[in-house]
Structure 1
């Protein structure tokens, strides 16, 4: 049996502990036990659970708050009575609207059923508080079903059964913050040819999100459907030029030079070759020249080629 290091054991215990507190958070949010009622009264009297603070609270509550974000995004509230919180409960499967929308008005508790009239969504009212994109998603994808005597049902989106079991405790992935995620992405192993592109993706995503946020602030919002359409219709324009070697004029010699620097600056080499008007190789030379940059290497290649031609009296040189 493979022996585990102390660090691995501690890390494993730490992850299991966080997962078990995730189970406590699920029970707190989805059951009506005496314990959950006590915790709600003590810590969530003034704020919804997704906003409640952990400062100065009991050890159990602080640990539950630490895993709250990871657990909350896997809880979907199926609208059956409409008593779910419009802003703070994840009833759209997209996450809590409080964190998704820029137009949130304070921290007032509003129930989903306040936006349902005669079994239909009040689109005008929803559009007054949400973006056009989110309004369209809600109207087209969520059925405003209100049943007398029913209660909104909490489903766990992490499995097919929809029930949070003990097995799900170990499978909860406690994700790092944005900064840690970007660092992992940056340091992730990939093929050298795509490394630069791979590392640039987080910056591109953040820049596009920032531009979209500013566009929404200034009333120039472009929804993702428009962006997707632009990308689908985009056709890259390729610019190329054929490069080939041609023979010099009759009676002439042609010299080709090259210089390179590994790392630029770094270890440098230069090379050159001379061919006659038949294309046959007359002379070639390549040498290392220590550390330097690519410009120095290119210049040294030209200099050595000219020096060689002067020594060998090859005056009819075509470069």
Structure 2
């Protein structure tokens, strides 16, 4: 299944390049297969090449998510997906439509789409975005599966991957941990899926093998379960690891051992970090031990496996905290350090800070429920100046931009050019930064935002949720009141928002855990 998915994704990439690029290869393929018929309308023939057949096998799926941003209108009227509905030649077929070379530009009159010659299309409400017509050198293809509109092999695989008929194995998802080497996670993934070149797996393919496990003193047949769980070396390693950390687990197989690993919880965050990654490091060292005994001159040794496990744990700690937890590859030393590690509890405070002299601050927030957004403008004394709330059906992001535009226009109209924007919305700073590339679906609103920011000195920052509570309360208030509400004085605001504004300068104190070196 995975190999078939990779082949289909590669075929989708070929079709994308064939449809969007003008290279020597794409021109050759068009001349060979599509000299008279449009590629989307081309039927497969027995004499076609294997590559062309693979491309046609994924053509309909790719064409469904390949749309065109119109700058010249030189796309095929019937077979290019310029309307977002797919090829019109399939939806509204007529005689000899497969050979049609009509362009969308032929149906544009005075900047509007004219479908008087095709009443069926006019009645169906076919529309096209012609607002950018004449503003660019060529029409741009968009891969609508990705947020940026750019084709990628990974997005093609995700798009073409079939839906799983059953729930995924939870153990496979746990293999992929941060700060754990990829080779370790990949081996654990192969162990749980039974995809290792051991004697029991090779015997399924009909190979006559005299099986003998080299990693244990007693001669027994080799299997995945024996190498990683039931063998003498594996059992000794698991018992030693569990006893040294004070962990206890009732298990009857490798899967039950890993599934119940560390379920009782760890005594401190550092120990929890190690316990979550420890079983996969043990699997990796047991596999190295098996290969060393089979192909090298190593002999069965529990101490060698534990030394490798200790080295792997020390390397994981170094990747996570490069300047703090630097430990030797000695298991007893590491265990003693983990047991003695006690995090320090510190007191932190969060509050709203006023802007600099002559500046205004806009606090922006969206509701936890769908459809609400709000923004508040305040001066350097913390006084309320202007507020707007909006609620309606649609995307959260566009509602946020709507209230933000209203506040920016009010500030610029009053002559204020120094504006600070605070929000828990992490993407806002990238939208203000002109060097960052926004998603293509937000091109219009981001362009307007950057133009308004160029009229003054505008900065955007991320703030804690506790420092943005008045705007959050106003956004929640707006959910049950569709439309836009503008507030020009403090008395116009809801009672809860007024109370939060008055006490917003009082810091919120909470306890946090500071991890000492």
TM-score (norm 1): 0.47
TM-score (norm 2): 0.30
- Whose radius of gyration is greater, 1 or 2? 1
